Every structure is written in structure tokens, then in C-alpha cells.
Amino acid sequence: MDFIRNFLDYLDRLSARELVLKTVYLIGVFSAAVIILAAVLMHNILSDIPSVDKLDEYTPSLTTYVYDINNQVIAEFSVEKRAILPLSKIPVDMQNAVIAMEDRNFFRHWGISPRGIMRALLRDILHRRSAQGASTITQQLSRGIYLKPEKTITRKIKEMVLALQIERNFSKQEILALYLNQIYLGNGVYGVQSASKLYFGKDVSEMTLGECAMLTGLIPSPERFSPFNSQEKAKQRRHLVLQRMLAEHYITAQEAAAAETETIPTEKSTLFASHAAYFVEYVRQQLEPKYGVAQLWKGGMKIYTTLDLAMQVPAEDIMEKYLAKYDQDSAKSRAPAADKDKPDEVIPSSAALQGAFVILDTKTGAIKAMIGGRNYRDSKFNRVTQAARQAGSTFKPFVWMAALMSGYTPATLVDDSPMAYYYDGKDWRLLEGATDQYAIDLAIQPFVGNKDFKIWVPNDFDGKTLGRITLRRGLEQSRNLASINLVTHVGPTLVADVARRAGIKHNLDAVPSIGLGTSLVNPLEMTSAFSTFGNGGIHVAPFGVLKVTDNSGRVLEEAVPEESESFSPQLSYVLVNMMKGVVQRGTGIYASRLKRPLAGKTGTSQDSKDMWFIGMTPDLTAAAWMGYDDYGSIPLKDWTSSLTVAWWTEIMEAVLKDQPVRDFPVPDGIVFVTIDRNSGKLALPTCPAKDKLMEAFIKGTEPKEFCDVQH
């Protein structure tokens, strides 16, 4: 109280002039303090504000698109789904809708709207909420590019300062273009181009007025107003946008009414559907190490591939249909027979039967279709490229090619007779003289139970032997004993070399059983190897990427087929001609329903763990495989590799329906003569018609003797 009394006395003693001066001085000091405090505060707020000098160099995270051979989008790699377009490519209706809804004074203000800011500030104070709203398009752009998504006074100040800087450095058209390419529109997509593809399945330039209005209505809350979450809210927002556009004289009442009648999308465009997931991952694994994660996932590249969705989609559907049916049949076969009260009860199989399918262009090696399994979400293991399975009898064409290279012809007689091998500690050797089952049993009797003496007695699936048969018949009927006899005579090392030259990449064991397909391979290399024969002996490496460009269209790489001459055209044609017999008369006869020239080979591995069919036309080579991932045997007793032929055939029926029917071209140096299919010698008029066959030979190797069989 004494201090106050003394201060008042002091004021009474001052003159009027002195009092005014003192008051001015105090106000000045206080104002200076406020200014300094505000300057320090603003410095702290704006110290980390980014520069807008390089906004014209701003490159947001872009979507990389993967295309099939017909430029249809297969998939995309993106952190944020986004595409960048110039303003000229964005419909005027889209531009006007955004301006009408988000910033109707966009072309008149200088970055911020003081009236809007005051109105929003009063609303925030009354409702005791953080600063929000009243943002111009320029402010929204600055917030989206530079600032964190927080709602504070500090961020609002930064947003306004940045908006002023952007307006000073860029034209209104540039700002609008950046905004339309930057704005988030739900479901992970940024910018109107990606949003148009997601919601409507079309390019943004093709959007209608109603679609432009619907997209614009999403901006304040894309998930809340999404048509996929609420059709009614999406319609309400579209109506509001159209009314604003009408009020701003951007559209007429008739145009607004017509736009109101347009349908609202109910699900994502099929452009974003997942087909060929295993193939897309195959492409990613090739390109990501080459270009880096950032470039692939954020760089907006365009990847043009060899895949044909017209082949891929039916192949996926048909394979799944058959394998699901096999699973069902397998489960029924395991149901307890004693439970007669529930005859229809199905006990699920312990594991799902898996499958793989791949189509290659025979001439170029281009991958036209690839199915690495039944469901990529359940298992990302690609059985086309990563599986290591026994090829079974599909390996036999390599044995037959080795025989042709060693001087055999399709008419050469080979033994389909019993045999036995023993292991001498270093190598497998043929047990001499053991040419029938009795002799084999007699020869191995002394060694039964001897752990140091290993015996191998091969046989055929039917337990029969056919004696002396032609090379052609041995392949058509897939005779194991004939194959092993050939391996014994030409040598397993040559067979392994033939397989490698054809395109097999896995290491192969050069042992007598190599002719039964006991070595491990995958469907892609087997398909590639078969296509070598169909391509006249020229091996072409399989590939999936045709061209890669960056986001400006600059070509980063283009595919060049890798070719190498592995076998002569004549040898290849003779082998393919024998393989045509597999489809015409042999184990793959089910595929003959396609009614076109086909060459192929079936295969079933030991204990029915793998079932194959690989077939080819002059243009396409395709492989089908099925089996269990845990290497379990396929359970139904009457199942054979012909069941794999069944779904291979149905797939190829869809794939080839519009393809021209062509036969394998005959190279120079090939002659055709009519032989007796039993003796392999030239046919006589007395030979039965059913035993006559027009056979292909390399000129000079055709038989010279006439048939001496008494028919």
C-alpha cells in the first residue's frame, strides 16, 4: 500500500507535459517488448519452414505400372498410388468443380483469404477447437507437400507463409496443376489421374461431369465420403458439388440434372484387380535389384511385359477349377467307409493339391502366362520358377534326342526288357545276363540283405515288358525300360549334356535313372527346354520384361532375345515328330481333342508325387504340373498324368481358340517313308493299314529293308 501511495504522490508532482512523455515512453517500451517477443516467436515458428524455390522440381512418390502385351494394366508398385499430368490433360469440369468447392476466389486472392481466416478463427474459438478450415487451394497445397498433418496454430502460420511464397513464385495454373496431382482421394491414391482409374477404370481425360463432381466431393474426407463405404453420402456430396458449380455459373441446370443421374461406382475398377500375382513378383525380383527400391516403388516407371492377360486369366480359372475338384475327390476317398449314416460327409485333405502352369512363346521365349500356385495370398512360393521337382517321364525326350544324336532313328528297335543294376561303390553297372525276371532274381539272391551291395531293378508302371520295340513306340508309350536301355547305350553323361543344352539349369545326376526323370527341375526350365525342340533346335532364354521406361518416357531397357543353337533343325524335327505321336496315339491322347498339330510328353514321378504334361505348337509351349508341397503322393489310385493333360487341354483350348492352325515346319534334309510300326522296316502292301506309318528321317538314315514280319 505504501508503494502505491508513493507512486500516486509522484504522479501528482509531475506536470502534464512530463506525464505525457512518461506515458509515451512506457508505451514504447511495452510495444518494443511485444515486437521483440513476436519476432522471436515468429523466428522459432518459421525457422524450419522449407523453401519453395524448388517447388517446380518437386517430384512426389509416383506409381509404377506393370502392363501386359496389350498394354492392359496388370499391377502397380507404389507407396502412394499417384500419376502426374499437366493441367491441359485434366478436364475443365474437374478444375471448375475443385475451385467451386474448395476455393471460389482462387483466381482473385494472393494465397490466403483474410476474411476466411477470421471467420474460421471465430468458429474455432467459439467451439474451443484447434485452428482449422478456411484454407485456400494454395494453403492446402503447401500443407500437403511441406507440412505435417497436425492441427495447430503454429502449423497454420507456416501454412499461410508458405502459401504467400508459392503465390509469389508460381502462376495460378501451375498451382492448380500441382494441387490436382497432389490431393489425396482415398484408398491410397493421390491425384485425379490415379483416382479416376481406381473409381471409374478410365483415364482422367475421359471423366464425365458427374464423375468429376463425385471425386471433388471426396476431398474433405475421402474415406467417409467414399462410394465404396457409403453410396448415399457419395451421392449427397456429388449433389453439393454440382449445386456449387451451378451457383458459380460453371454449368447449366440441365447439365447438373444430367450429372445427377449418373451411376455411382460400387467397387474398385478391375484395373486394380490382382491377376498374375506370381508373374508380377517374378518381374519385381528381376527389376528391384537393378533399379533400387525407391525407383521401382516411387519412380513412376512403366514396365511393359510379355504376359498376355487373355491367356493368363482363363488359365488361372481353369487350373483352380480342376485342382479344387481333385481336392474334393481326394477328401471323399479318405472318408471312413464305416460311417454309413453320413455317406456325403467329406473329410478335408491334410494338404491342398498345388499346381503350376506356364506358357512360353516357342520362337522368342517370351512368358505369355505364369501361375506359380493356387493362391498367392496363401503362398508366395512360385512353383514355376522356385520348385525343385522330379520330372518323371517328361524327361525322356532328352534321352531320345541323345539317341538320335548317337545314330538312332525313329525306326530303330530298342529293348523294353527286364534289367538290373548294381552299385560297385563308384558307379552303377548293368548286371550282365539278367535279361528276364527269373535271371534277375537268381543273380541278386546271394546279395539279399547285404547292406554294402546295392541293387536297382527298374520296371514300368504296368509291370509289363514289350520286348523289342521301335524308338517311336517307346516314346509314345513312355516305356521306362526302353529309356534306361537307351541311357545305358548312349551314356547318362550325354543325356545330361543334351538337357543342359536344351535349357535345363539344375544340376543333373549322370546316372542310369536319369532317363526316368529322377533329377530335380522346375516347370519354367522344362518348358524352355521343350521349346528348344519346337524352335528347330534354337534355344531362347525365357524372359518376362519387354521394355522399361522412367516417368518421363525415357527407355531404360529393352529386351533382346538370347538365342543359341543347341541342336540341328533336322534332329529337332525328327524328335518333335515322334512327340506328336504321344498326342496322336500315346499317353497324351486326351490333348488330341484340340484338333491341331501338337507335340508333347506326359510324366509321373516316383510314387505319383508329381504329374506333368508339357505340350507345344509351333508358336506356344506350355507346361502343367501338379503335386503336394510336402512331396506327398497324389492319393487316388486311378489318377495318372492324363488328368494333368485334361486341364492343360482345357486351358489351351481357350488360349488357342483364335490362333491359326499351323504344323511344325519341315527343314531341308528330311524325308518321309512309310514303315511298318512293329518292325521299323519299309512297309509292304501286305502290311495291315493300322501298322503302317509315315515316318520322318534325316535323309540317308531311312530304312532300306522291307518288312519281314508275318502279319
What are the residue ranges in the chain where pLDDT is below 70?
1-60, 79-82, 111, 113-134, 144-159, 269-274, 333-350, 419, 422, 424-453, 456-458, 462-463, 636-641
Domain boundary residue, one of 272, 295, 310 = 272
Is 342 among the domain residues?
Answer: no
Indicate the helix (H) or strand (E) that contains 455. strand 454-456
Residue type at 464 in one-letter notation: K
* Whether residues 462 and 591 fall in one domain: yes
Is 102 among the domain residues?
Answer: yes
* Whether residues 265 and 393 fall in one domain: no
Indicate the helix (H) or strand (E) that contains 575. helix 569-584
Domain boundary residue, one of 227, 249, 272 = 272
Backbone angles phi, psi at 314, to 5 degrees: -65, -35
600: β partners: 615
Tell me, letter by letter, the H, E, C secondary structure of 152-175. Answer: CHHHHHHHHHHHHHHHHHCCHHHH
User: C-alpha distances in angstroms, 555 versus 83, 112, 304?
Assistant: 18, 42, 11
- The answer to whether 358 and 331 are in contact (CB under 8 A) is no
Residue-wise over 562-573: b if at least 16 C-beta within 10 A, else e? eeeebbbbbbbb
Is 347 among the domain residues?
Answer: no
Is 66 among the domain residues?
Answer: no
* Whether residues 436 and 564 fall in one domain: yes
Grouping H, G, I as helix, E, B as strand and the rest as coil, residue 671 is strand
Q: What is the pLDDT of residue 201?
A: 82
User: C-alpha distances in angstroms, 322 versus 329, 354, 394, 490, 651?
Assistant: 11, 11, 21, 40, 11
Grouping H, G, I as helix, E, B as strand and the rest as coil, residue 370 is strand
> In the Cβ-directed half-sphere of 72, how many Cα atoms lie within 13 Å?
18
- The answer to whether 155 and 163 are in contact (CB under 8 A) is no
- Which of 600, 179, 613, 579 lies closest to 392, judged by CA? 613
Q: In whole angstroms, what is the distance from residue 30 CA to residue 14 CA?
A: 21
**Cβ atoms < 10 Å from Cβ of 250:** 19
* Whether residues 42 and 167 fall in one domain: no
Grouping H, G, I as helix, E, B as strand and the rest as coil, residue 302 is strand
* Whether residues 108 and 254 fall in one domain: yes
- The answer to whether 316 and 349 are in contact (CB under 8 A) is no
Backbone angles phi, psi at 219, to 5 degrees: -55, -45
Q: What is the pLDDT of residue 441?
A: 67
Q: In whole angstroms, what is the distance from residue 551 CA to residue 61 CA?
A: 11
> In the Cβ-directed half-sphere of 563, how many Cα atoms lie within 13 Å?
11
* Whether residues 503 and 557 fall in one domain: yes
Is 55 among the domain residues?
Answer: no
* Whether residues 690 and 622 fall in one domain: no
Domain boundary residue, one of 206, 238, 272 = 272
CATH for 620: 3.40.710.10
Q: In whole angstroms, what is the distance from residue 561 CA to residue 543 CA?
A: 8
Rg (CA), the chain: 39
Contacts 24+ apart (CB under 8 A), 202-206: 202/269, 204/85, 204/89, 204/90, 204/91, 204/94, 205/89, 205/90, 205/91
Q: In whole angstroms, what is the distance from residue 564 CA to residue 541 CA?
A: 9
User: C-alpha distances in angstroms, 479 versus 84, 433, 435, 516?
Assistant: 61, 21, 16, 9
* Whether residues 97 and 12 fall in one domain: no
Q: What is the pLDDT of residue 569?
A: 97
* Whether residues 10 and 98 fall in one domain: no
* Whether residues 135 and 211 fall in one domain: yes
Q: In whole angstroms, what is the distance from residue 488 CA to residue 26 CA?
A: 114
CATH for 259: 1.10.3810.10
Task: Please give the grid coordinates belonging to residue 150.
Answer: 497436425
Torsion of CA 145, 146, 147, 149, to 10 degrees: 20
Q: In whole angstroms, what is the distance from residue 584 CA to residue 476 CA?
A: 9
Domains of the chain: total = 4
Segments forming the whole domain that contains residue 697: 668-711
Q: What is the pLDDT of residue 444?
A: 67
Longest dimension (CA), the chain: 153
Q: In whole angstroms, what is the distance from residue 618 CA to residue 573 CA?
A: 11
- The answer to whether 278 and 326 are in contact (CB under 8 A) is no
- The answer to whether 190 and 80 are in contact (CB under 8 A) is yes
- Which of 270, 287, 278, 109 lies closest to 198, judged by CA? 270
Tell me, letter by letter, the H, E, C secondary structure of 473-497. Answer: HHHHCCCHHHHHHHHHHHCHHHHHH
Indicate the helix (H) or strand (E) that contains 98. helix 92-102
Termini Cα distance of the chain? 143
DSSP annotation of 91: -
Is 662 among the domain residues?
Answer: no
Q: What is the pLDDT of residue 284?
A: 92
- Which of 155, 270, 156, 265 lies closest to 218, judged by CA? 265
* Whether residues 426 and 529 fall in one domain: yes
Rounded to two decimals, the pTM is: 0.73
Q: In whole angstroms, what is the distance from residue 60 CA to residue 83 CA?
A: 9
- The answer to whether 600 and 590 are in contact (CB under 8 A) is no
Pairing relation of β-strands 428-430 and 538-540?
unpaired
Task: Cell 522344362: give the residue.
Answer: 526
Is 367 among the domain residues?
Answer: no
Indicate the helix (H) or strand (E) that contains 499. helix 492-502
Length of the chain as a residue count: 711
* Whether residues 601 and 688 fall in one domain: no
Is 363 among the domain residues?
Answer: no
Q: In whole angstroms, what is the distance from residue 686 CA to residue 665 CA?
A: 32
